[in-house]
A and B are shown apart, each in its own frame.
Chain A
Amino acid sequence: MTVLKPEQAASREYQAGFVTDIESDTLPPGLNEDVIRHISAKKDEPEWLLEWRLEAFRHWQTMSEPRWAAVDYPPIDYQAISYYSAPKSKEDGPKSLDEVDPKLLETYEKLGIPLREQEMLAGVAVDAVFDSVSVATTFREKLAEAGVIFCPISEAVREYPELVRQYLGSVVPTGDNFFAALNSAVFTDGSFVYIPKGVRCPMELSTYFRINASNTGQFERTLIIADEGAYVSYLEGCTAPQRDENQLHAAVVELVALDDAQIKYSTVQNWYPGDENGVGGIYNFVTKRADCRGKRSKVSWTQVETGSAITWKYPSCILRGDDSVGEFYSVALTKMHQQADTGTKMIHLGRNTRSTIVSKGIAAGYGQQSYRGLVRIGKDAHGARNYTQCDSLLIGDRCGAHTFPYVEVKNPSAVVEHEATTSKIGEDQLFYCRARGVPEEDAVNLIVNGFCKDVFNELPMEFAVEANRLMEVSLEGAVG
């Protein structure tokens, strides 16, 4: 029994694989300064931002794609990508959900995130990003009452230019890395969040990203600022339609936490992973970084990554403020021919800074999985502590899991602990469940979900349930 056949492994039909048929305003493929000017003009941007973009672009032209990650893909032709795609809608764009193209709403419903329902479910405000333009932003008024700003970043550029100018690129500089530079040059939309001093954001903020038009990369840019003593929990969910070509997704997320502020950032990433032969799928090359600028600030990244053909992603924390705390909880699943090189960086600069890393990697089919983590303790980071736990679970014997922990300690008072395990899904455990009457596939789900529990527990309640279910559908057929 229990023969794990990789050729049958985990190729369930991708449920989000449909294309919405709407007219869109799309730039022809290609990237040059004119394209950037066009994007900037389309968005009515101030001059400084255009200059910022152009500078990033010039820098990008001098850089080359990073090749150190344990992932393998053919060269990307950046001139073959279209850098702007917006659904064509009435002049100014929708003012409320009623004005939104019903087909878009249908799309969201197919994805299982009916905005209306979410609105009613109270507590979840959604800024939905469809291709490059935000089409629906809900709950803004309620948030405005609390003084919270939650809007598309392009709007923030117009409405809150000072805030944007102060913080944009202050965590991830334009020239930080190849993909971040590209994003800085061509980013089209994303979310902007500002939580004022002492405010606890009254609801979970949530953005669903989705790549629709084919051959368009998606380059969203998210900027979240929690002012002194503020708290916010933010969730992003991602899906993309099924296509044979690979699509590039190079996002940048910047978080800034000032004194005593807390940001909890959760991701459920379910981009199209490609088919069972490794054709198609999203290249998810993302830069996410938090700056714990203030004393006693705290940032917690939680990610559940089940999609994308290739994932290259290291949500990081710069623990600058004394007594600041960084956390990274991650579940990554690679099946079929998916590859993931993911992990985190915890940069301890302040005194008594603490970080926790819990990474759970699951590989099935021909999936390849790497944990890459850096813990750096600066010379002034007296009393810094890090705890890292890094577990891998293998399903079948064609997949692989690798761990690359990097530790640099420049202060002798630091305590750095690292635990790592790699195990095959236990025949004993499977048999035990089956002997209790649990069918084999359900037994695998149970065991995998149990393996991920420490991370799922960090997700907001309703999303923990979603994550559980996502793991289940993702694992369908992982054993044969």
Chain B
Amino acid sequence: MLKIENLHVRVDGKAILKGINLHVRAGEVHAIMGPNGSGKSTLSNVIAGRDGYEVSEGSIRFKGKDLLGMAPEERAWEGVFLAFQYPVEIPGVNNTYLLKAGVNARRRHLGLPELDAMDFMQRVKEKAKLVELDPSFLSRGVNEGFSGGEKKRNEIFQMAVLEPELALLDETDSGLDIDALRVVAGGVNRLRSPERAIVMVTHYQRLLDYIQPDIVHVLVDGRILKSGDKALALELEARGYDWVREEAGA
């Protein structure tokens, strides 16, 4: 489903990603772990199409299509979703309205009829319940005055409404208390299906207690140095990252 080959990315002339290879098949859940500054957010942002990153080499294909040639909204229409590490506030823009615009733009792209206000509200309310998001958040400005945890929960809510095929979660777990973590994990697990894939970026193996990954990757200094199963996450938790560096001779 997602095929990243030899991806090199620079920011302001500085090499950040140095040859990433990552294959994610439909139905799989991948976890990417790595120390701060290793390039995890850079990778997520480049997949979602954020400006300001120079791809100097390599390719990203999604369902066989070249993602790098697409605008961010086109990627969303294809089914890519990014839960942001730092969701931005958009004052005055109604949370639900933004989602409706996104959902219907995608439906137009897919040749489906747009959802009317009633159907859409129905869907939104269901999903809000799912992630235990207080209905008052639906009509507030996007992330406007939300706490850190509320912002993260809102990201998962948006994911639930948009029903993406590939969900990238950039440190969605950080800053969450255990209850919120459980809710967020519940939202992600409900999205799991043979047609969908999930890539979680995380610092902590804690989240992986709730969402069982199929494959764990270790990203250090812009390279995936090691991949393994869930046991690798536990080992990282216990031993840190240095041994991975040494083992890889990096």
Contact = CB atoms under 8 A, between A and B. Distances in A.
Interface of A: 1-2, 426-429, 431-440, 442-443, 446-447, 449-454
Contact of A438 (B49, B73, B82, B92): B73
**A interface majority secondary structure:** helix
A431 B51 contact: yes
Contacts of B106: 437
B115 interface: no
B72 A1 contact: yes
Given A437-B103, A437-B105, A437-B162, A431 B92 contact: no
A442 B106 CA distance: 13
Contacts of A438: 73, 98, 101-102, 105
Contacts of B91: 450-451, 453
B241 interface: no
Interface residues of B, number: 33
Contacts of A446: 90, 93, 97-98, 101
B49 A435 contact: yes
B50 interface: yes
B250 interface: no
B99 A436 contact: yes
A434 B88 contact: no
14 contacts: A427-B52, A433-B93, A435-B50, A435-B76, A436-B99, A437-B77, A437-B102, A440-B71, A446-B90, A449-B92, A449-B93, A450-B91, A450-B94, A453-B92
Given A440-B73, A446-B97, A431 B102 contact: no
B48 interface: yes
Most buried by A among B72, B99, B105, B106: B72
B92 A450 contact: yes
A442 B101 contact: yes
A447 B90 contact: yes
B159 to A, nearest CB: 10
A428 B71 CA distance: 15
Interface of B: 48-52, 71-73, 75-77, 81-82, 84, 87-88, 90-94, 97-99, 101-103, 105-106, 141-142, 158, 162
A110 B101 CA distance: 28
B162 A452 contact: no
A433 B141 CA distance: 13
Given A426-B88, A437-B76, 11 more contacts: A1-B71, A1-B72, A434-B73, A435-B50, A435-B84, A438-B102, A440-B71, A442-B105, A446-B90, A449-B92, A453-B92
A155 B112 CA distance: 57
B73 A439 contact: yes
Most buried by B among A438, A443, A449: A438
B93 A447 contact: yes
Top-3 shortest CB links A-B: A450-B92, A437-B102, A450-B93
Contacts of A2: 51
A427 B45 CA distance: 13
Contact of B90 (A429, A434, A442): A429
Nearest to A453: B92
Contacts of A443: 73
A435 B73 CA distance: 5
Nearest to B71: A1
Nearest to B75: A435
B237 to A, nearest CB: 30
B98 A451 contact: no
A266 B158 CA distance: 37
Contact of B48 (A427, A433, A435, A452): A435
B170 to A, nearest CB: 11
A433 B98 contact: yes
A2 B50 CA distance: 10
Given A447-B90, A449-B92, A453-B92, A436 B76 contact: yes
Nearest to B143: A432
A434 B71 contact: yes
A428 B142 CA distance: 13
Contacts of A433: 90, 93, 98, 101-102
B71 to A, nearest CB: 6
A450 B95 CA distance: 11
Most buried by B among A427, A434, A440: A434
Contact of B82 (A435, A449, A452): A435
B97 A435 contact: no
A363 B155 CA distance: 31
A382 to B, nearest CB: 35
A443 B72 CA distance: 12
Contacts of A437: 73, 76-77, 101-103, 105-106, 162
B83 to A, nearest CB: 10
Nearest to B79: A437
Contacts of A432: 84, 87-88, 90, 142
A433 B97 CA distance: 11
A203 to B, nearest CB: 28
Contacts of A436: 76, 98-99, 101-102, 158, 162
Nearest to A432: B88
Nearest to A434: B72
Nearest to B84: A432
Given A432-B88, A439-B73, A450-B91, A427 B51 contact: yes
A439 B103 CA distance: 11
Contacts of B72: 1, 431, 434-435
A218 to B, nearest CB: 34
Contacts of B82: 435
A438 B142 CA distance: 14
B127 to A, nearest CB: 14
A440 B94 CA distance: 17
A466 B71 CA distance: 30
